Structure 1
């Protein structure tokens, strides 16, 4: 089916983070868009409402699916027995997962897909920031709200390239194929491999296999850019046909830290001070630079753009600062991310005490069999705290964790464990913050804790 034919599209599970952005992007293209979901939260609710796309009622309505539809896009949060999905199947309406649809809409573009267990969003957002800075036309699909971009998805007819954050998680509830296998990249990045999503990939080998498949999908005359310091990546990114494919390894960008500021050392542009910090981000910068080089961005322009890049939302985001204290928020939840983020803040401010708070919120992080992956992850913190909400454990129908188990799993006898968000907030508010930084790591929200009020109290 030609992409030009798609005029009337319905999204099942339109309230999702990326799905509502796709709905808005299609609306921007002046297509007819409808959607359904059984629950829609902010900011999706307000954004869909402003565009006139918010469903009248929450729930599933098979009557919305009619023969006039050109396509149905199925979100990952819908169930395989969804009544709207069943109706679309009965009517033989083309059904796409999010990645399949993005591919259909970008068949005529150069597709650049950023994969990896960690760093995907940061690398993608650096590339987008640089391309915007140099005035290049490009489409994109990224998993976070970025400063300078009002959407997480952009699809146009005239942009020659598309930058895609390629998630290894499943594409939809019926095909269950990793998203990044469905974009059919020309240029790929693998930023690192660290076992995650235990509910889908029950062992590390099965998880790593998804990246091997991704690497081997690189076409003739394509490029595979990979983290050469990661042993797991080396196992999947071994040059097999270097005559056909360009293999480009990258490492930590040459740099130094002076008075809490990161300075990049470059060949032609001298020393360049940047707002980003942390070894993981210095790798992300190297990956983004290699991608930009492949698509014709000059090194000078890359470094110039980097000086105004503040980072993606919830990626070492500074949410408050006083003379001798900073409060950071980070999306980190997987073990490798937690370790890298904790190390980054301590290395940047070695003279300050670091209080690191991690919320266990995902299926993997609350899984007893996966927990030992966190061994040593919080060791760089002077005070290490783990919080989880017992209701989340019950909701996910999992076994309750004990304080002793967590201390053993993190290999940290000094680890403090909280299961009450109010008690945690009280502890953080009452302690001294003289010459100390607070790092909050979570993909959740600490049981709706008011982080703005906490930040004010700390500072």
Structure 2
């Protein structure tokens, strides 16, 4: 097949382009901006566009399909030309479904934990040399790409994102996959620019549950009351498998899982991660991995990239980087670090970076999110608010939202860095939570703090 990508430089899009190239497809693409690591990786496979920009004159009936990325606009010149020619235009998830419609589709959904759970499953399957097709939302150690497609593998494992599919397909991505096996980890309001009310957001998970094939298997976190209600009230003819936090103990900063064979030391920690592990175990069992083999493999799982990722440690200090930005994720991450390091000073630093987190109306959802930390810091760049064309957010609004009297707030990246580098981190655990980089913070420099 001859495939063209409009907006090939995106994290998901460039991985799919590489996967199709490896499968033997003829792949081309365009974009108006491509940054590393996408740029380097596309160049490695000979897929980097020769020049940046949109070139409608290159769109012809020779293409079997166009794959349209979210970064493109509805008036994109190449998209308009493809529509004029009547070419088949797929969104990213729509094309993944097309590649997996004859396979057993396993979809991991939820507001939080889906990347980690998908990563756990892939780690276990890889450990036992079980080949599957997959799409995961992070670059994993030991895996060349975030997407892998074949003709022969039985299973397709998909991270099920609830965000929109493409500029011309406003359905959430996970509505398109029609899973045979699925998991729901948790539901906490997110993406308010698309789902303006909580009930509207929850409805997307009901639709997902009802989109499963008849006789499918839904694994769900029964400790999340909203997930429990969504799944258990569904009239879809599916089998339902609840999971909960497994028994465990914490000794000297290490979490031990209780198993039939005794205590099992884990590289990961935190209630959410333990729940993620319980869900991943159920899915692996549905995919043919028995319990003993799961435990054997999961011992060496040390987390998905940027998900409570330990970036530096010595005997008295540990520093984590985490992708957490939604209120529920920030609260869970902060609590997990404090619970794991009860005898240390926990310094929790949060960058408000996403559309939702910089929305003055949504800010109140952060109430109590940093309460578990001994020192709590919030950083945001007023310029980011302007770029997203949102109403200005004041320091007082942030202070009122978190409702913590000793909250430290920075809007200047140099001042935030000066604060971080001036701290005495003896007997401390630091967690840097953001989907950005605090206005240009060099994490290699941060590592040298310990």
- Residue aligned with 1:177, SS: strand
**Is 1:422 aligned to residue 445 of structure 2?**
no
Per-residue displacement from partner, 1:62-86 (whole Å, max 9, x unpaired)?
A: 0121110000000011111111001
Which of 292, 304, 307 does residue 296 from structure 2 map onto?
Answer: 304
- Determine if contact 1:407/1:414 at 8 Å carries over to the other structure: no
Q: Give the aligned partner of residue 9 of structure 1.
A: 3
Give 1:455 deviation, angstroms.
2.3
Q: Give the aligned partner of residue 20 of structure 2.
A: 26
Give 1:241 deviation, angstroms.
4.7
Distance in 2 between the 1:433 and 1:383 partners? 12
Distance in 2 between the 1:63 and 1:287 partners? 49
Q: Give the aligned partner of residue 155 of structure 2.
A: 161
- Residue aligned with 2:294, SS: helix
- Determine if contact 2:93/2:174 at 8 Å carries over to the other structure: yes
Q: Give the aligned partner of residue 253 of structure 2.
A: 260
Q: Give the aligned partner of residue 147 of structure 1.
A: 141
- Residue aligned with 2:170, SS: coil
Alignment of 1:253-292 (within 5 A): 253-267=246-260, 269-292=261-284
Give 1:449 deviation, angstroms.
1.1
- Residue aligned with 2:145, SS: coil
- Determine if contact 1:425/1:454 at 8 Å carries over to the other structure: no
Q: Give the aligned partner of residue 448 of structure 1.
A: 440
Distance in 2 between the 1:235 and 1:81 partners? 41
Q: Give the aligned partner of residue 352 of structure 1.
A: 344
Alignment of 1:59-458 (within 5 A): 59-241=53-235, 244-267=237-260, 269-456=261-448, 458=449
Q: Give the aligned partner of residue 56 of structure 1.
A: 50
Per-residue displacement from partner, 1:234-291 (whole Å, max 9, x unpaired)?
A: 221115458x421011111111111100100012x22111101000000000000010
Give 1:400 deviation, angstroms.
1.8
Per-residue displacement from partner, 1:363-406 (whole Å, max 9, x unpaired)?
A: 00000010011100000000000001111111111122112111
Distance in 1 between the 2:404 and 2:5 partners? 46
Distance in 2 between the 1:438 and 1:13 partners? 36
Give 1:329 deviation, angstroms.
0.1
> For the aligned residues, what is the CA RMSD?
0.9
Distance in 1 between the 2:96 and 2:78 partners? 21
- Determine if contact 1:110/1:161 at 8 Å carries over to the other structure: yes
Give 1:438 deviation, angstroms.
0.9
Distance in 2 between the 1:407 and 1:413 partners? 8
Please identify, of 444-453 and 119-128, the stretch whose mean Cα deviation from structure 2 is larger.
444-453
Distance in 1 between the 2:239 and 2:95 partners? 28
- Determine if contact 1:239/1:247 at 8 Å carries over to the other structure: no
- Determine if contact 1:140/1:162 at 8 Å carries over to the other structure: yes
TM-score by length of 2: 0.99
Alignment gaps of 5+ in structure 1: 1-6
How many residues matched? 450
Q: Taking structure 1 as reference, are residues 239 and 394 closer, same or farther at Cα in structure 2, changes over 3 Å only?
A: closer
Give 1:197 deviation, angstroms.
0.3
- Residue aligned with 1:85, SS: helix
Distance in 1 between the 2:221 and 2:196 partners? 24
Per-residue displacement from partner, 1:412-458 (whole Å, max 9, x unpaired)?
A: 121111011111111111111110111000001111210111221x2
Distance in 2 between the 1:408 and 1:63 partners? 53
- Determine if contact 1:146/1:152 at 8 Å carries over to the other structure: yes
Distance in 2 between the 1:206 and 1:240 partners? 17
TM-score by length of 1: 0.97
Alignment gaps of 5+ in structure 2: none
- Determine if contact 1:275/1:307 at 8 Å carries over to the other structure: yes
